[in-house]
Amino acid sequence: MMSREQLLASTFVDLADTLVADFDVIDFLHTLAARSVQLLDADAAGIMLADAHGDLHVMASSAEEARLLELYELQNNEGPCLDCFRSGHPVAEEDLSAMRTAWPVFTLRLRQLGYHSAEALPMRLRNETIGALNLFRVRPGRLSEADLGIGQAMADVATVGLIQERAIASRELLATQLQTALTSRVQLEQAKGMLAQRTGLPMDQAFQLMRAFARSRNHRLSDVAAQIISRSIDDDQLRQRPHRP
């Protein structure tokens, strides 16, 4: 079992390690989401990136339940993610009643899923905000200052990691990267749907199966999604993976 410090150190190594040949943007953002839940006092974490029109898209989530994805997407209308993306600053409200005033529809749906607080941390590159890291908690109240600092550092490292060709990180390049990330995410959703239909599994479990397979074989998540779509791996192969203790 890793200590929090060891996990933190290894998270930063993982997030910084984006210049490898098999870099996969969705896998990378998923790592950020999963580690956010492990490292911070949060119960769910999601990453939204903005496209060229300023619309926010879910790129990764610590859990892939449909209802949770909807909660991120809902924030194209209202919510901490939207406020954070627009202002470029961390966004949180003191308590539930303040949240209800600021984001009535979002807060209602959040409560229905069993969460009592939500925060958003900006993903910023120089003067531009490209998206936000969303953190949901079952317990009410805000994250501690220490957690906020670590969360923001993770969001910053992840933002830099997204811009692979750092030396020429022009806006144009950023826009093409985001476009590519969006295409990968859409492909992942299509693969999840195909797998869920064939196996009868819920979306979340279909995703877990894909990710576990990718991890155990050292494949990129995007490649596994593409192979499911092209039917070059079947469901039995996906299920044949080393059992974890």
Partner 1 sequence: MRGVRVVEILSAIERRGGEQVTLPARLCDEGLSALPVSGVGIALMTVDGPSGVVLAATDERARQLEELQFALGEGPCVEASGSGRPILASDLVAAGTARWPRFGAAVLDAGVRAIFAFPLRVGAIHVGVLDLYRDTPGQLTALQFDEALAFAEAATVVVLHLQDYDEHDGTHAPLAEPIDNRAEVHQATGMITIQLGISLAEALLRLRAYAYATERTVSAVAADVVNRRLSFGDSGSGGTTRQERP
Residues found near partner 1 in the complex (CB under 8 A) = 51-53, 55, 57-58, 66, 69-70, 73, 76, 171-172, 175-177, 179-180, 182-198, 203, 225-226, 229-230
145 versus 172: smaller Cβ distance to partner 1: 172
The least CB distance from residue 188 to partner 1, in Å, is 8
The least CB distance from residue 192 to partner 1, in Å, is 6
Distance of CA 72 to the CA centre of its chain: 10
Distance of CA 84 to the CA centre of its chain: 16
144 versus 180: smaller Cβ distance to partner 1: 180
Residue at token pair 């202002």 = 87
152 versus 187: smaller Cβ distance to partner 1: 187
The least CB distance from residue 72 to partner 1, in Å, is 9
The least CB distance from residue 75 to partner 1, in Å, is 12
Question: How far apart (Å, rounded) are the C-alpha atoms in residues 170 and 181?
Answer: 17
129 versus 184: smaller Cβ distance to partner 1: 184
148 versus 194: smaller Cβ distance to partner 1: 194
The least CB distance from residue 233 to partner 1, in Å, is 14
116 versus 198: smaller Cβ distance to partner 1: 198
Residues whose CB is less than 8 angstroms from the CB of residue 81 and which lie 6 or more positions away in sequence, other chains included: 48, 56, 72, 75, 91, 120, 132, 134
Dig out the tokens for 135 from the structure.
Answer: 């953190």
The least CB distance from residue 117 to partner 1, in Å, is 23
